[in-house]
Chains A and B, each alone.
Chain A
Amino acid sequence: MKRTFLRLGVLSSVAAACLLSGLIIAPARSSERPLYGGVLRVEIRERVNSMDPRGWNPDAADADATERLLELVFERLVRMNDAGQPQPGLAVSWQHDANFTRWQFQIRAGVKFHDETVLSSDTVVAALQAEDAARWNASAAGAAVVIEFKTARPNLLVELATGRSFIFRAADDTVVGTGAFRITDWQARKRLELKANDDDWAGRPFVDRIEIGLGVSSQQQAVDLESGKVDVIELLPSLTRRASQVSGARVSASAPSELWALLINPRGSALYDSHFTQALSLAIDRAAIVNVLLQRQGEPAGSLLPQWLSGYAFLFPAEANVADAKKIRAEFSASPLQALVYDGADPSAALIAQRIAVNARDAGINLSVSAETVASGGANDADVRLVRWRISAPDAREALKTSIARLNGAQAEAAFLPLETPEQRYAAERAVLDRGRIIPVAFVPEIYAVGPAVKDWMQHRWGGWRLEDVWLEQKPRAATAAGAAGSGTGNN
């Protein structure tokens, strides 16, 4: 069923593209059918430290990249579709009581771990309990798993579809999953090699193997894409034009799934005043940042959640108003905000931070810009810090809750905020922004440059890969990668 849907999707996408562009696509290409085989090569900037779901920390710096890789090897009971609706994963069905305190999940039959062990309800319970025993009370009931709570958990499906809810089997020192790919070589922080899981319950992936290079710089990724050494790279906005000039390559972007924002640290200055934060917010020319620095890959942000997720983001203004910023600035004799730091490991951060500093200077706010590195341990006492947050959950409630919880001292508040309805979420977001601890700057998507040999490349709306659906065109790749034949490209 999945393959059918995929084929229909691909064909409809190609047809739509032809119609929109007015191009006449050769019948031979439109009739191309997915091919099995080949090695998909991917490079990312992040240096992932571990492929063990038990040690995955959603708050770690490499959390997003790690989750992306873990999702290739491990699965959850529930999945989310692009509309944010729960879909069956390792659980084929579920039901709950009226109070949302008792949930029962029917485990998919015939699923095998990569070590050929059959997935059972006991294994699922063990994985859930290992993930966080205090979080829930899970028990096996035949082929079903029962999870009970003392209080209502209406959003349990979202919780099970995100975060650390991976189902795995730990044996000896190894941890195995049920995902579309199994690990064949793992070199922490350097390289991950995966092999297609022939026994995948959703069907074997098209590609035979995936080689993922870790810790590769953006510039090197671009070079490698141009030379045909890799098929998929992460793309910086500054490199989109360059990547688009590579013959046959295309740029793929998700919906805005990351938030660039300034976190204000009131501990950094005794003169802190939320009113002053407003001056800084008004001084920032977000449109210029998005259009120029981010090469239109994103949208100005005046809120914590993007419009596609919240539906009310347009209510938060994101336009610059230097005149008003100057007026507010004039109310202060001295600037309580003087130092702006950014993540030195993020290649986009420096430019955005510098642009913000330039804008701030127009309003009379002089910010000294500096990078913080892992080696420096982070400047916790910095006045302003430019951060990039991933909005991982396709669910607006969970996404907002996570965002608020990330603010200093707001974890408890986030746990009890009523965020069920859009109105409640808007009110909560407004209150948080008025507090002046955070200045949203821009929403940006996950951007990838995909080589010409890669077919049916798709991302989740909120980011993330669907590599099990990707297949590789062999002829063009052979021609393109002729120079890189020595690297062992092994298309079947």
Chain B
Amino acid sequence: MSFRVKLALVFTLTIVVAVALVAWGVSTYTQREFERIDQRHTKALTEQFTQEYAQRGEEVVRRVTGIKESQATTSMAIDLTGPRADASRYVFEADGLAKSNQLDFLDFAGDDGSVISSKEWQAHFGYKTDWVTAGGHDWNQQGAFLNRTELPDGVALSLTAVRVVSVNEKNLYIVGGVQLDKEFLKTLVLPEGMRALLYKNLQPGFDPAMLTDVNGSVAQADRIAPLVERVQKQGAGAELTVQWNNDPASAENFHAIPLLGRGNQLLAVLLVGSSRAELVTLVSFIRQLGVIVGGAGILLGVFMSVWFSARITRPLAKLARGAREVAAGDWAVRVDARSRDEVGQLARDFNEMTRQLAEQRDRLVQAERVAAWREIARRLAHELKNPLFPLQLTLENLQRARQQTPALFDEIFKESTWTLRAELDNLKMIVTKFSDFSKMPAPQLQHTNLNDAVRNAVRVYDAQFNVIGRPPVTPELYLDENMPMIQADPDLLHRALSNLVLNSLDAMPSGGVLTVRTGRGDGIVGVEISDTGAGLTPEECERLFTPYYTTKRMGTGLGLAIVQSVVSDHFGKISVESAPGHGATFRIELPVRPPGASNNFDAGRTAGTDTIPRDEAELVKEKRRTESVGTKSTLGLGE
């Protein structure tokens, strides 16, 4: 993955995370704010209910007190204390008084608590309401309270007040109240999205029929059961969220407020419901907006990331490209260094570095060239000095023989002429070798069988393996018969292999074994030539392929240099592995299909005439590289 892509991804990821964090933050803040508003509404509603409850209680007290102080009640109280009191006359009294005073419930009870008249249950006359007479209440001083009021068909909740009229130490109790039901709930002013439910806790457990809202019964009332049961168990307020159907917008928060009666008995639970539809809609809107804005932001971010990363990495890419060109040998490359930031400084440093490297290379080349000329001069002097000295001696010997022994002059002349001719031939050979080395031809690639090349090279020296007077050398060939055809110049290959075989023969003056192996790898073939000679020191191994370097008394130092040149021209590698006393092994690796070889290799193989253009071979020749590690020296192309 490129640096630009990584940078773009980092930028994009950063933007995505930032957008997600903002969306989450907004959503969380909104939800928290909604909860806060919801709690504020609930609190306001609770306060409103409490206030309404208190006001309603005061109103009930006022109405019941009004009945107490009415002429009709006073007359009734007086009449009932008489000796012929007839309570039955007043059995329907409560109905009219309750209606005129807007009370849902009204009971008149005698001194013993017996019901004289009941608005809500007229048939209940004569039955006692013990709670009114029990406990020594000063009812005239007490306010309204939540009460269970028995009805013919059940029990109702009421906000009740009790007042007493006393005549001749006999009490007439007036018990009046208003029903706590859906009509009461209707009087509560609720914010939009909120509603109030009333659960009448008139029996243990949860009874759905006891739950009512402003419209009467509540659908799916069972869903409220856990909340009511919690209040029943704990006697304190509680909360519950109910989702009425699969739609999250149907969810509703319920806050339960216990309503206690006399003796702190839990008689009812007020449930304040607050719809979460608004919140869900808002969160949904925020999410949609977040997705749209986030998507647009991400797209913009991706675009900006690509643009920024491209802008940031462009100098770096140029640097990388420049570095690659330098690595490829183009040391003259320069990158744009106009910016003043760190990347610009890096570019300037790179340019300076390449400039200095180029200068050092030029100096090195110059130094190597001087050293090479010196070595050539030394070699030429050495090579030429050897035959020149016998020539000088032979000429001086001829001069002395003519002066001192003219009789033997002819014989000496004949011998000296032979010597002179031999040394001149020697000089000629030296010149020829140098000439040949300077004239190394570009390889003409064609389909070549490496095994055949090996066999031909060894066959050249068959006669020398068993020369009389010299210990024999035994050739051993281990050739891979499945070797592929390679693209090579067979003449140059033969020349290189012959040099190596000859080199091995020279290394084994006392005889030995010459082992030649061929093998193949992934796209390459190899040949290994080993001898059992005296071996080489590490220093010798390092300099072995240097031109004109030789360890032989009569060598020119050009044989292995030629081998190395041939191998390099075929884009191959050559190495040597040796240790003193353990012989030496030369390994050559050649590509089956060298770079620049003709694409119609198969056609060429059948035709046997495929060649690499000379210009191309000349180009790749420039890319050779020398490598030497320990006692193992390797020569070949860099790429």
What is the CA–CA distance of A351 and B87 in the complex, to the nearest angstrom?
17
Are A292 and B152 neighbours in the complex by a CB distance under 8 Å? no
The chain A residue with its CB closest to the CB of B117 is: A292
In the assembled complex, which residues on chain A have CB atoms less than 8 Å from the CB atom of B192? none
The chain B residue with its CB closest to the CB of A352 is: B123
Q: Given A354-B152, A357-B152, A369-B153, are A238 and B125 neighbors across the interface (CB < 8 Å)?
A: no
How far is the CB of B128 from the nearest CB of chain A, in Å? 12
Are A293 and B89 neighbours in the complex by a CB distance under 8 Å? no
How far is the CB of B91 from the nearest CB of chain A, in Å? 5
How far is the CB of A162 from the nearest CB of chain B, in Å? 35
In the assembled complex, which residues on chain A have CB atoms less than 8 Å from the CB atom of B127? 358
What is the CA–CA distance of A295 and B88 in the complex, to the nearest angstrom?
7
Interface assignment of B426: CB less than 8 Å from any CB of chain A? no
Interface assignment of A323: CB less than 8 Å from any CB of chain B? no
Interface assignment of B419: CB less than 8 Å from any CB of chain A? no
The chain B residue with its CB closest to the CB of A353 is: B123
How far is the CB of B86 from the nearest CB of chain A, in Å? 8
Q: Given A241-B89, A241-B92, A295-B89, are A288 and B152 neighbors across the interface (CB < 8 Å)?
A: no
The chain A residue with its CB closest to the CB of B93 is: A241
The chain B residue with its CB closest to the CB of A370 is: B153
Interface assignment of B638: CB less than 8 Å from any CB of chain A? no
Are A292 and B91 neighbours in the complex by a CB distance under 8 Å? yes
What is the CA–CA distance of A355 and B115 in the complex, to the nearest angstrom?
13
In the assembled complex, which residues on chain B have CB atoms less than 8 Å from the CB atom of A357? 123, 152
Which 3 residue pairs are nearest across A and B when measured between Cβ atoms? A354-B123, A355-B123, A292-B88
In the assembled complex, which residues on chain A have CB atoms less than 8 Å from the CB atom of B123? 293, 351-352, 354-355, 357-358
In the assembled complex, which residues on chain B have CB atoms less than 8 Å from the CB atom of A368? 153
Are B122 and A296 neighbours in the complex by a CB distance under 8 Å? no
The chain B residue with its CB closest to the CB of A362 is: B127
Are A354 and B88 neighbours in the complex by a CB distance under 8 Å? no
The chain A residue with its CB closest to the CB of B124 is: A358
B-contacting residues, A273-288, CB 8 Å: 285, 288
Interface assignment of A291: CB less than 8 Å from any CB of chain B? yes
What is the CA–CA distance of A357 and B87 in the complex, to the nearest angstrom?
21
Interface readout for B593-629 with A: 1 if CB under 8 Å, 0 if not?
A: 0000000000000000000000000000000000000
Interface assignment of B121: CB less than 8 Å from any CB of chain A? yes
Are B153 and A288 neighbours in the complex by a CB distance under 8 Å? no
Interface assignment of B126: CB less than 8 Å from any CB of chain A? yes
B-contacting residues, A354-381, CB 8 Å: 354-355, 357-358, 368-369
In the assembled complex, which residues on chain A have CB atoms less than 8 Å from the CB atom of B122? 293, 351, 354
A-contacting residues, B97-125, CB 8 Å: 121-125
In the assembled complex, which residues on chain B have CB atoms less than 8 Å from the CB atom of A352? 123
Are A238 and B126 neighbours in the complex by a CB distance under 8 Å? no
23 A-B contact pairs sorted by A residue (CB < 8 Å): A238-B91, A238-B92, A241-B92, A285-B126, A288-B125, A288-B126, A291-B88, A292-B125, A292-B126, A293-B91, A295-B88, A296-B88, A354-B122, A354-B123, A355-B123, A357-B123, A357-B152, A358-B123, A358-B124, A358-B127, A358-B152, A368-B153, A369-B152
Interface readout for B56-99 with A: 1 if CB under 8 Å, 0 if not?
A: 00000000000000000000000000000001110110000000
Chain B interface extent, by class: 10 to 19
Q: Which residues of A contact B (CB under 8 A)?
A: 238-239, 241, 285, 288, 291-293, 295-296, 351-352, 354-355, 357-358, 368-369
Greatest chain A CB density within 10 A among B92, B123, B124, B125 is at B123
What is the CA–CA distance of A354 and B91 in the complex, to the nearest angstrom?
14
In the assembled complex, which residues on chain A have CB atoms less than 8 Å from the CB atom of B89? 241, 295
What is the CA–CA distance of A288 and B89 in the complex, to the nearest angstrom?
12
What is the CA–CA distance of A161 and B290 in the complex, to the nearest angstrom?
95
In the assembled complex, which residues on chain B have CB atoms less than 8 Å from the CB atom of A369? 152-153
What is the CA–CA distance of A173 and B375 in the complex, to the nearest angstrom?
161
What's the count of A-B pairs with C-beta under 8 Å? 38
The chain B residue with its CB closest to the CB of A241 is: B89
A-contacting residues, B118-140, CB 8 Å: 121-127
Q: Which residues of B contact A (CB under 8 A)?
A: 87-89, 91-92, 121-127, 152-153
In the assembled complex, which residues on chain A have CB atoms less than 8 Å from the CB atom of B91? 238, 292-293, 295
What is the CA–CA distance of A295 and B87 in the complex, to the nearest angstrom?
10
How far is the CB of A338 from the nearest CB of chain B, in Å? 14
How far is the CB of B512 from the nearest CB of chain A, in Å? 127
Beyond A295-B89, A355-B123, A358-B152, list 13 extra A-B contacts (CB 8 Å): A241-B92, A288-B125, A288-B126, A291-B88, A292-B87, A292-B88, A293-B91, A295-B88, A351-B123, A354-B121, A357-B152, A358-B124, A368-B153
The chain B residue with its CB closest to the CB of A295 is: B88
In the assembled complex, which residues on chain B have CB atoms less than 8 Å from the CB atom of A354? 121-123, 152
How far is the CB of A363 from the nearest CB of chain B, in Å? 14
In the assembled complex, which residues on chain A have CB atoms less than 8 Å from the CB atom of B152? 354, 357-358, 369
How far is the CB of A292 from the nearest CB of chain B, in Å? 4
What is the CA–CA distance of A102 and B92 in the complex, to the nearest angstrom?
56
How far is the CB of A225 from the nearest CB of chain B, in Å? 16
How far is the CB of A207 from the nearest CB of chain B, in Å? 33
In the assembled complex, which residues on chain A have CB atoms less than 8 Å from the CB atom of B153? 368-369
In the assembled complex, which residues on chain B have CB atoms less than 8 Å from the CB atom of A292? 87-88, 91, 125-126
In the assembled complex, which residues on chain B have CB atoms less than 8 Å from the CB atom of A288? 125-126
The chain B residue with its CB closest to the CB of A291 is: B88
What is the CA–CA distance of A165 and B290 in the complex, to the nearest angstrom?
93
The chain B residue with its CB closest to the CB of A288 is: B126
What is the CA–CA distance of A296 and B88 in the complex, to the nearest angstrom?
9
What is the CA–CA distance of A101 and B316 in the complex, to the nearest angstrom?
141
What is the CA–CA distance of A368 and B152 in the complex, to the nearest angstrom?
9
How far is the CB of B357 from the nearest CB of chain A, in Å? 112
What is the CA–CA distance of A351 and B124 in the complex, to the nearest angstrom?
9
The chain B residue with its CB closest to the CB of A236 is: B92
What is the CA–CA distance of A285 and B88 in the complex, to the nearest angstrom?
14
In the assembled complex, which residues on chain B have CB atoms less than 8 Å from the CB atom of A355? 123
What is the CA–CA distance of A357 and B124 in the complex, to the nearest angstrom?
10
In the assembled complex, which residues on chain B have CB atoms less than 8 Å from the CB atom of A238? 91-92
What is the CA–CA distance of A288 and B87 in the complex, to the nearest angstrom?
11
What is the CA–CA distance of A35 and B4 in the complex, to the nearest angstrom?
125
How far is the CB of A235 from the nearest CB of chain B, in Å? 13
How far is the CB of A256 from the nearest CB of chain B, in Å? 18
What is the CA–CA distance of A354 and B118 in the complex, to the nearest angstrom?
13
What is the CA–CA distance of A355 and B87 in the complex, to the nearest angstrom?
16
What is the CA–CA distance of A351 and B127 in the complex, to the nearest angstrom?
15
What is the CA–CA distance of A411 and B458 in the complex, to the nearest angstrom?
148
What is the CA–CA distance of A285 and B126 in the complex, to the nearest angstrom?
11
How far is the CB of A319 from the nearest CB of chain B, in Å? 15
What is the CA–CA distance of A479 and B237 in the complex, to the nearest angstrom?
66
What is the CA–CA distance of A291 and B152 in the complex, to the nearest angstrom?
20
What is the CA–CA distance of A358 and B89 in the complex, to the nearest angstrom?
20
How far is the CB of B331 from the nearest CB of chain A, in Å? 112
In the assembled complex, which residues on chain A have CB atoms less than 8 Å from the CB atom of B121? 354
How far is the CB of B490 from the nearest CB of chain A, in Å? 123
How far is the CB of B619 from the nearest CB of chain A, in Å? 115
The chain A residue with its CB closest to the CB of B122 is: A351
The chain B residue with its CB closest to the CB of A237 is: B92
What is the CA–CA distance of A241 and B126 in the complex, to the nearest angstrom?
19
The chain A residue with its CB closest to the CB of B91 is: A292
How far is the CB of A288 from the nearest CB of chain B, in Å? 6
What is the CA–CA distance of A354 and B154 in the complex, to the nearest angstrom?
12
How far is the CB of A219 from the nearest CB of chain B, in Å? 10
What is the CA–CA distance of A246 and B126 in the complex, to the nearest angstrom?
28
What is the CA–CA distance of A293 and B88 in the complex, to the nearest angstrom?
8
In the assembled complex, which residues on chain A have CB atoms less than 8 Å from the CB atom of B125? 288, 292
The chain B residue with its CB closest to the CB of A239 is: B92
What is the CA–CA distance of A351 and B92 in the complex, to the nearest angstrom?
11
In the assembled complex, which residues on chain A have CB atoms less than 8 Å from the CB atom of B92? 238-239, 241
How far is the CB of B209 from the nearest CB of chain A, in Å? 15
What is the CA–CA distance of A295 and B125 in the complex, to the nearest angstrom?
13
The chain B residue with its CB closest to the CB of A356 is: B123
What is the CA–CA distance of A239 and B89 in the complex, to the nearest angstrom?
10
How far is the CB of A355 from the nearest CB of chain B, in Å? 4
How far is the CB of A177 from the nearest CB of chain B, in Å? 40
How far is the CB of B407 from the nearest CB of chain A, in Å? 176
In the assembled complex, which residues on chain B have CB atoms less than 8 Å from the CB atom of A241? 89, 92
How far is the CB of B487 from the nearest CB of chain A, in Å? 113
